[in-house]
Structures are given as structure tokens and as C-alpha cells.
Chains A and B, each alone.
Chain A
Amino acid sequence: MDAIILQILNGLDKGSAYALIALGLTLIFGTLGVVNFAHGALFMIGAFCAVTMQRLLTLSHTVIDPSQTDFLGNPLQTKVPYLASIIGADGAQALIAWAVPLSIILVIPVMLFVGWAIERGLIKHFYKRPHADQILVTFGLAIVLQEIIRAVYGANPIQSPAPPMFSGSIDLGQYLGFQANAIVYPIWRLVYFGFSTLIIGAVFAFLQFTTFGMVVRAGMADRETVGMLGIDIDKRFTLMFGLAAAVAGLAGAMYAPIVSPNYHMGMDFLVLSFVVVVVGGMGSLPGAVFAGFLLGILQGFASMNEVKAILPGIDQIVIYLVAIIILLTRPRGLMGRVGVMED
């Protein structure tokens, strides 16, 4: 039982990332009709915003310490963060430790801008082109973005630790009546799940309870009619691209303590997230979220040693297997709308 609970937690955690990326993908597809293969790269850029925040907070000046020598025997050059000179060493240390959560204030404007720039600079020229063209150009964009990140930050994974108070693990089993060490889970992963739920709720609330959201939903349902009412739906859809980019960026930034940011992490999520979108139903926001968590949990179960002993390698194919079964039995996905990608 404890093993099952652990894998459900793992599934919720992975599913959180899938759901957030798939939510952005669906927003873009539902509003602009674009299949955005650069969305994984936006997730990766978000993770590197956390790295950037860490570097901004640790911007340093060099102090030469003649009492110590470096590995070549020269006087040791020590780097002292500017922040330490301003607020003291302890304060600087505390602030640097919170770099990942603090990066949210960097992620939102950066990702809104990146989303806007991509939509205005590139994607708007492909609205009337076939989906194959859109896939090619956005996939090319993803490669360009990841190579830029590699050139700037290098190819090595970069440690981005969670704040000390969230960096340990918690013995959940003790609260659920299990023996000690039965269900030990990292605190940050629980924080990530909570954060994802919050973001997903905020996006739905934004679409459901604001005038802007109402217009966007109306545009998703019938773009032409909304346009005939004199509403500039294109402008709103551009903003939705920025919002989708910000959601992916936030998902990436908060994921940085879980998987050390590296330039190809976006690609690892991209294909899985597309499967999530297809399983959930193209254009369905609740479907994307539901499928994200569902596939995350299934992947967790498939990784159990007991399951792999019976079906070796099942953890690698379970998502695709489920996608095949669902598409055979429900061609529009779990919550797909009639008419989406059916013309």
C-alpha cells in the first residue's frame, strides 16, 4: 500500500508538470490554432530564469586574498557577492537560498515578453499555413532556443536548490498510520504539486470569471462571430500566447530544484505533453489537466518494480500505450470537442 501511495505522489508530481505544459499547449492551440512544438523550450527557459535569478543574486566582485593561494600558487581570488556588501553576508545567504521562488518575479515578465515576441515575430506568419508547417517552424525554434541557452549557460546541469526549509523530505507515512520511513517524500515536490494546482486554478478562474477570459472562451468557440461583434480577438489571442508561455515558464522555474536545469530538458517534456494534450482532447483545457495527472500517475505505477517484473519496460511505453487505447476507443480524446482538427 505504501508503495502505491508513493507512486501516486510521484504521479501527481510528474503530472503537475505535464498538466501545466499541456495547459499552455491547449491554450495556444485553442485560441490560435497553432501546434506549438516550441512549448517545451519555454518550460526550459523558465527553468533557466531560476538559474538567472541565482546568478543575479550572486553577482560578485573579486577580492584578492594574499593569505591563501589558488591551485597554481597564485594569490587566491575570492568572489564576494555585491549583495553581501549591501545587506550583509547572512542576509545575502538567506536571499540567495530563496532564488528559485524569487525567480517567479523574473519569470512572469520575461515569459510574457518571450511569448509575445515569438507570436508577433514568427508564429503569426504561419496562422494560415498547414499544421505541418507550424510544427516544423516551432520545432526549429525550439532547437534554436535550446542552443542559445547552451551557448550561454553550458551543457552541464546546473544545481538550483530549493530553499533550506523546503529542501528536506517528510515522513508522510507517520501521519497516515504507516510505520516510519514507509512514505518519505521530498517537501519541494509537494510544494510543486501545490503550486501547480494554484496556477491551474488561477488560469481557469481567469478564463471563467473575467471579461477578458469570457471573450477568449467565446473566441475559442466561434472566432468569426466574436470578430463580427467588433472585438479585436487577435490581440487577445496574442496575449493568451504570452499567458501560455508564462504558465510554461513558471512550471519550469519551480521544477528547477527537482531536475537540475539543462538545455535539453524541454525536449524531454515536449513529446509527453503532446500525448497528454491528445489524450485529454485537442482544445480541451480540463482534458489537458486531467490527462496530465492521469498519465503521470499511470507512469508512476508502471515504474513499480512489481509491475516491471511482469511487464519489463512498461514504464517507458505506458503513456503511449494508453494514448493508443484511448484514441482507438475515443478518437477525440477524453474530453475533446467536436470539430477540433477534424476538418
Chain B
Amino acid sequence: MKKANFSRRGVLKTGAVAGAGLMLPTYLRAESHTGFTNAPTGDTVTFGFNVPQTGPDAEEGLDELRAQELAVQHLNGEGDGGMLSTFSQKNLDGTGILGKKVNFVTGDTQTKSDVARAAAQSMIQKDGCIMINGGSSSGVAVAVQGLCQEAGVIFMAGLTHSNDTTGKDRKANGFRHFFNAYMSAAALAPVLEKAYGTDRQAYHLTADYTWGWTQQESMAAATEAMGWTTTQNVLTPVGAGDFSSYIAPVLNSGADILVLNHYGGDMVNSLTQAVQFGLKGKQINGKDFQIIVPLYSELMAKGAGSNIEGVYGSMNWNWQLQDDATKAFVKSFGEKYGFPPSNAAHTCYVQTLLYADAVTRAGSFNPCAVVEALEDFEFDGMGNGPTTYRGSDHQCFKDVLVMEGTASASGNANMVGYDTLKIVEQTPRAQVEYPEDHPMFAGGALGDCNPGA
């Protein structure tokens, strides 16, 4: 017969420890850095930067990587600190995160969902990454976000603009700082109304994937609300190269506006070819024919050259903003690399700092602690004005920039794409906000945060 080893003192001690444990917030129970995926154990912590390093979006990916490397340097106390000095939170002091030096590894998404998932998986499993950041496509972002949710690490999205990323495909472990298609349309509509009036016929060419669909839906809804008619929406294959078959019928369709829901190389080609077909400047319905590109990037502007002159679009951020945070980041990036940062670079830089700050505030790398720290987090000093990470969908809400293509201001060939986009309006955040249950974002749920192992 075994003798029970209970004592009054032992029961009291065990009860006290268990009670204290239960009273602590969920995330602090992971303070010992166990119980979640890739809990850092040494004096370093590793980030995974998953960007397109080859493939059609490689230039944008490499620009993201430059910004991510800069963010790591600033977190580790190297360089001039960039936006650390302007960030409204002052928890990051250049000594790493929670005393651990930040390392990083990189993956190549090739802008392919399966490749991006494999790269992220490798960085999580082999390199022990605690957070994945970057990307240049919504298809990739949705795929990697899903993987991070399953693996129990945080995904700080890079350039992803589809409504679905924080709509039907939202995940508790995923966060998007970049704006979305709905916000682009909401910001553009008043500017377009002012420039082109309320009686317009719009013809849409739309990239046939998640981003294109939601961009078209958002633009059609916003422009129809101000009186425009959508005459046709034609889906085009991604990477078509020659869009002549799709552009040729536009002039005879009765439309006087062409909306190019294309991004990257597709936008460069479709816009160039639309200009070659003489659409810009033609008189249709007694009005000047106009072209709109809802989402701009500096590299697209560079590729399209002078064809973007007079073409409206939108951006998440632009290096020409005059706030202190933007100035600090542009100086830091520009001195290191010799040219201004793109808005893809900016969002990756900010996301890296936001993650680091969230960990510091939470006092833990536990993904659930980070999620809690980021949800409904309000901050400033990152170049976008006062910003909120909404808790219900993990989407950042902030001002949106309406841009117009223009002739190069400096005449400097190296600045084409950077100074050929002019900020027309900084649309206030209130104008682009939408309710949590907006139909364009319906069909998904964050679910519970997953700390992994």
C-alpha cells in the first residue's frame, strides 16, 4: 500500500502557485518563453523576411528587404535609429527586443503562393523564426497568413491590398498595416468626382485574382455611388503581357473612363498599351477620355514612364510627405541606399517596428501576447498620422494618399518613379473607415490566436 505524500504546507503552496498562474493574463503565462512556437531561448531572436527576390516582383521585394534590414539595424542600435525617434511609443531603445539581439533570415516568395508558403515554413521550422514579414501580393499574403496561423507565429503582412486579407481570409495571427482596395476607392472617389464629374461611363480591366476582384468591386461601388456607370468589367489573366485584345474594344464601348485594376508589370504593360491605343486624350461622349490606376507604386511609375502623366491612383504612404517620421525614414533609407524608399519598403519597416514594440509592451514573444498588444493599438509617428490597428479584423486605419502621375519634377533619370508621382490629397482616415460588418469584408472570422507548440 502506498502512502499519500500530502502535507498541509504542500497543498497551500501548490494552491497558491496555481491560483497565481490562473489569475495572470494569458500571455504572461508564457513569460518563461515556453509553450509557443519558436520561443527564443538564447540571447537572439530571429525574424523571417519573406519577400519576392526572384520573379516579376523581385525589385519590389528587394526594396522591402532593404527596409527590413534597416529596421533590424535600428532595433539593434545601429544607424541613426530612423523612426524610433518619432514613434509615439518609446519602448524601443536600440537594445534589441526584450534584451535579445534581432537576427533575420530571408525567404524568396517568387510571388507564388505555394513557394511563399514553403519558404515561410522553412524559416519557421528550420530557422526558428518567431515572426514572418513581407510580401508583394495578396494571393501570397493570404497563403502565408494561413500558414502562420497554423504554425503559431505572427504574420506582419507586407504589401497586400486585397480586401480579403483582412476580410474573408483574416486570421488572428495576421496583421496588415497596408491599406486595402476599399480604402483606395473611398479615397479616390471624391477626387475623381471633382476632376471628372458625376456623369461618366467606366470600363474596367481587372486582374483575375483576389486583389483584382476586390479592387474592381470597391472601385465600381465607390464610383457608382457618385453617379458613374460601370459599362463593362473584363477579367484579364495575370501576366498577360499584351493586353491589346482587351484594350482594343474600349473606345467603341461607349466608356469614357478606363479603370486598370492591374498591379506591377501588368499595370506597366496595360497602361502603356492603353496610351499607345490613343485612349488618353480622345473625346468620347463629349468628354476627355481618362485612365485610372487605383493602386500605385513607385516601381510601377518607373516602369510606365511618362504614360502615367495625369493618371490618378492611390498609395499607402509616399516619401514626399513632410511629417517628421517620413523625413527621418527617408533620410535613414536614402543615406544607406542612395534613393528614397518605396511605400512597400515603408510598410515592411513599420510592421517590423510595430511587432518589436508589441513584444516589448507585452513583455513576451508569445504570439497571443503580441496579438493582444497589437489589437486596438493606437500610435503615431510612423509617417501615416494617427493610426489604429483595429482589433476586430487586424486592419490598420489611417490616412490614404491620392496620387497623380506627373512629369519628373527634378529631371533626374534616377528619380523617375519617385518624383513622377505627386500627392494630390491626403484623405483623412475617417473618410476611408468602414464598419466591421461591411459586406465587402464579410465571410471570415479571426478565430483564436494560435501560440503553436
User: Which residues of A does B touch, CB under 8 Å?
Assistant: 2-3, 6-7, 9-10, 13-14, 58, 60, 68, 70-72, 76-79, 147, 150, 154-159, 161, 167-169, 181-182, 184-186, 188-189, 257-260, 262, 264-265, 268, 299-300, 303-305, 308, 315-316
Q: Which of A6, A14, A68, A265 has the most CB of B within 10 A?
A: A6
A255 CB, min distance to chain B CBs, angstroms? 9
Q: A3-B249, A157-B265 are in contact. Are A169 and B237 (CB under 8 A)?
A: no
Taking CB as reference atom, which chain B residue is nearest A188? Answer: B276
When A150-B58, A159-B305 are in contact, do A79 and B413 touch as well, CB less than 8 Å?
yes
Q: Give every chain B residue within 8 A of A79 (Cβ-Cβ).
A: 412-414
Cross-chain contact A189 with B413 (CB below 8 angstroms): no
A186 B58 Cβ-Cβ under 8 A? no
Contacts A/B (CB < 8 Å), 17 sampled = A6-B248, A6-B249, A7-B245, A71-B418, A71-B419, A72-B330, A147-B54, A155-B55, A157-B265, A157-B303, A159-B272, A159-B307, A167-B276, A182-B251, A258-B242, A265-B241, A305-B232
Contact, CB under 8 Å: A259 / B241: yes
In the bound assembly, the distance between CA atoms of A77 and B414 in angstroms comes to 10
Cα A161 to Cα B268 in complex, Å, equals 13
Contact A168 B278 (CB under 8 A): yes
Q: Which of A161, A186, A260, A304 contacts B249 (CB 8 A)?
A: A304
The contact of A300 among B245, B299, B304, B412, by CB within 8 Å, is B245
Contact of B284 among A159, A181, A260 (CB under 8 A): A181
Chain B residues with a Cβ under 8 A of chain A: 54-59, 232, 234, 237, 239, 241-242, 244-246, 248-249, 251-252, 265, 268-269, 272-273, 276-278, 282, 284, 299, 302-305, 307, 319, 330-331, 334-335, 340, 410-415, 418-419
Known: A155-B54, A155-B56, A262-B56. A186 touches B335 (CB 8 A): no
B335: chain A residues at CB < 8 Å are 72
Q: Which residue of B lies closest to A299 (CB)?
A: B245
Chain B residue with Cβ nearest A268? B241
Consensus secondary structure, chain A interface: mixed
Closest to A81 in B: B413
- The 10 A-B pairs at the shortest CB distance, nearest first, are namely A169-B278, A303-B245, A155-B58, A186-B276, A159-B305, A6-B248, A156-B59, A157-B268, A157-B303, A259-B241
A150 lies within 8 A of B54 (CB): yes
**B337 nearest CB across to chain A (Å):** 11
The residues of A that contact B419 with a CB separation of less than 8 Å are 71
Residues of A close to B414: CB separation below 8 A: 79
**In the assembled complex, how far is the CB of residue B122 from the closest CB belonging to chain A, in whole angstroms?**
21
Q: Quick check: A155 and B57 within 8 Å, CB to CB?
A: yes
Expressed in whole angstroms, the Cα–Cα distance for A154 and B284 within the complex equals: 39
Are B276 and A169 neighbours in the complex by a CB distance under 8 Å?
Answer: yes
Is the pair B242, A71 in contact by a Cβ cutoff of 8 Å?
Answer: no
Q: How far is the CA of A157 from the CA of B269 in the complex (A)?
A: 8
Asked if A78 contacts B412 (CB within 8 A), the reply is yes
* In contact, B58 and A181 (Cβ under 8 angstroms): no
Contact among B54, B248, B272 for A7, CB-based, below 8 A: B248
- Give chain A residues whose Cβ lies under 8 Å from the Cβ of B242: 14, 258-259
Which residues of chain B are within 8 angstroms of A300 by Cβ–Cβ distance? 245
Complex contact B282–A181 (CB within 8 A) = yes
A219 CA to B272 CA in the complex, in Å?
45
Taking the closest CB of chain B, its distance from the CB of A9, in whole angstroms, is 8
Tell me how far the C-beta of A14 lies from the nearest C-beta in chain B, rounded to whole angstroms.
Answer: 6
Residues of A within 8 A of B58 (CB): 150, 154-155
B55, B249, B284, B303: the one contacting A305 at CB < 8 Å is: B249
